[in-house]
Amino acid sequence: MTNRGVDIKNRKQRGEWAEMCFMARAAAHGLCVAKPYGDSARYDFAIEYQGRFLRVQVKSTKYKRFGSYICRTTSTSRPYRANQIDFVAAYVIPLDVWYILPTAAFQGKAMVCLSPHRKTSKYGRYREAWHLLRAKPSKSRAAKAGR
């Protein structure tokens, strides 16, 4: 099957398509995917793995600038905060590549520049990093959650 998402002109429809792609890919990685009812949650999906839940916002891009793909990390022009989501799953549509970005990786930034073609890039370690959604929480994060 060819990746036809680049042909979807309507941005909202393309985003909905990317969300369906995320659900399928996450399930293929052994993750349980839950979609909150309505659209008022700041996140698109709750991911459950071995009793642990994470909030994931799905973003997608097909826009290339200076050889890299530009992906927004905002909601209505405001950057997501760590108390709203845990990860952004950024989909580079033309290359069928996912980046699983923890909020700390892009905190305060309105966009990220994804460079799948470079061996060393700022966000390269998050390329196809599905294991991050299965990892045990760090002790400092667990302590914060217990407050």
How, if at all, do strands 52-61 and 87-92 pair? Answer: parallel
Residue carrying the six token digits 């302590």? 143
3-state secondary structure of 49: strand
Structural fold of domain 5-134: Trna Endonuclease; Chain: A, domain 1 (3.40.1350)
The pLDDT profile of the chain, 147 residues, written as one tens digit per residue, is 456 777 778 889 999 999 999 999 999 999 999 999 988 888 999 999 989 999 999 999 999 999 899 999 988 767 888 889 999 999 999 999 999 999 999 988 889 999 988 888 999 999 999 999 998 766 545 444 444
Find out whether 50 and 25 touch, Cβ atoms under 8 Å. Answer: no
Q: What is this structure's pTM?
A: 0.87
3-state secondary structure of 87: strand
Tokens of 44: 């698109």
